[in-house]
Amino acid sequence: MSTESHDKHSKPSESVGLTGMMPRPINVVMMGAGSFFTNSVLKDITLIPGSASGELRLVDLDPTRLELSRKLMQKIVDNLPTEGKWKVLASTNRRELLPGADYIVNAIEVSGTECVRIDNDLPLEYGISQNIGDTIGPGGLFKGLRTIPIWLQILKDAEELCPHVVALNYTNPMNMMCLAAGRTTRIQHVGLCHSVQGSSRMLADYASLPYDSMKWECAGINHLAWFTKLEDSSGQSVYPNLMAQASDRSSKFAVNEPVRTDMMLHFGAFITESSGHLSEYLPYYRKRKELLAKYTDTGYRGEESFYANNWPTWRKGQDENRQALLDGTKGLTFDRTFEYGSWIVEAIEKNSPYVIHGNVMNSGLIQNLPLDGCVEVACLVDRNGIQPTVYGRLPKQMAAICDSNMRMFDLAADAAIHRSKEAAIHALMLDPLTSAVCSPAEIKELCLKMFDAESAFLPGFA
């Protein structure tokens, strides 16, 4: 299926010639109101053309951050350039705000900053170098083990209090989160990431093409989806141009994306996640110092411990930014972003068909990937909700890379669902990067040390 994402100023209705008012007020629950996504996704929802009214319900366990978010969202709705009338509610108890909810936006951060250094530093003692470490590898595994049980409790509450809700998950580790939900809940849910939108725009820039003129297909798993088709408006492939740039390792393209361009040259297509984060999904680039020196660089290009060193500062900076917007030292803006959340709400509420790339259970959507796994594919959204489309078969070498990750996610999701240390250890033994660096005995030892270090956030694991 050939798909094109909309730019950040387009309206889903424009693509199909439909317009109209949203037929009813809607209630949106924001789980993890201290998240960056609160004042992007929720603000986007209030900017839907024709939106009438509703409730923005903020939930966070940190009362200080919750109140800061509540005040800012109240200021936003008080200054909307639209006629919508929105009420802002806040609580540290999700069960107070879930009844009657139409949408849940999940952006929780279990344990805050307490485990960030453990997730990074203990594996580093075993030679496992992580750039981000929140979706795969030791860091991603333990973030999943901490987070998934809470996520499943939220969905269980939703089954009781708002069984027709649509849940939009932004929390990492995305694949594990969606996989665990797909195995345990009846709630309609989808995992959302902006790597497809961002990467497709970036590729249009490197190809010197207007974004709206480029035709593309993308499928795989979160952070490891492949642009299997990239064409200009005449139907000519853009890949010869991109391959030529990537072959010149001094080009801007190759310097900015050292791992992604190298993978494209050797496997045949470009991948959706930044080079540094992508390097953690693969066994090739982070296992020896000379490879790190050759294929990684600062920041999102692969810097060791980048996330662990910066996440506390970023989190503090987000709060400071909210305070500045609240104080008026920084001005509010009312541009709608390309985050999928509000476009999904608009498509469902107005029956205005729109295409996203979402993380969903693989019910034959990508036929040469595990059918009990989670994949990222094009999904049609309208009044019937989120409807994944069948991609078919990925080229075998691309499918094999995805499959290697999915085997780890399979066991990691089960470990979180059943709170099993054994399944967690086996998951880490199958992790591509960890298994490229450590022996099974070392992996088991590391895993047990991490369980001990993070035990306060891992209740019930046996």
Residues with a catalytic annotation lie at 194
Q: Name the 3-class secondary structure at 353.
A: coil
How far, in Å, CA of 340 to CA of 381, rounded?
Answer: 11
Q: Say which residue the tokens 């795989």 belong to.
A: 220
Measured CA angle at 373 (ends 372, 377), to 5 deg: 120
Tokens at residue 129, please?
């170098």
How far, in Å, CA of 328 to CA of 402, rounded?
Answer: 46
Which stretches of 302-386 are DSSP H helices? 306-327, 340-350
Strands 224-231 and 270-271: antiparallel
Contact 259, 279 (CB under 8 A): yes
Q: Say which residue the tokens 């959507």 belong to.
A: 365
Q: CA-based Rg of the chain, rounded to a whole angstrom?
A: 21
Residue 5 per-residue DSSP state: P
Q: Which of 178, 144, 151 is nearest to 377 (CA)?
A: 178
Which residues, 6 or more positions from 216, have their beta carbon under 8 angstroms from its beta carbon?
Answer: 2, 3, 4, 200, 203, 227, 229, 230, 231
295-334 exposure pattern, b = at least 16 Cβ within 10 A, e = fewer: bbbeebbbbebbbbeebeeebeebeeebeebbeeeeeeee
AA identity, residue 349: E
How far, in Å, CA of 113 to CA of 90, rounded?
Answer: 23
Whether the link from the prior residue into 353 is cis, omega within 30° of 0, is: no
Tokens at residue 342, please?
């509000």
Q: Which of 403, 431, 433 is nearest to 415 (CA)?
A: 431
AA identity, residue 254: A
Q: Say which residue the tokens 């800061």 belong to.
A: 68
Neighbour count for residue 165 (Cβ, 10 Å): 22
Q: What are the DSSP calls for 366-422, one per residue? A: BTTS-TTSEEEEEEEEETTEEEE---B---HHHHHHHHHHHHHHHHHHHHHHHT-HH
Q: Name the 3-class secondary structure at 1.
A: coil
Q: What are the DSSP calls for 100-131, one per residue? A: T-SEEEE---TTTTTTHHHHHHHHHHTT---S
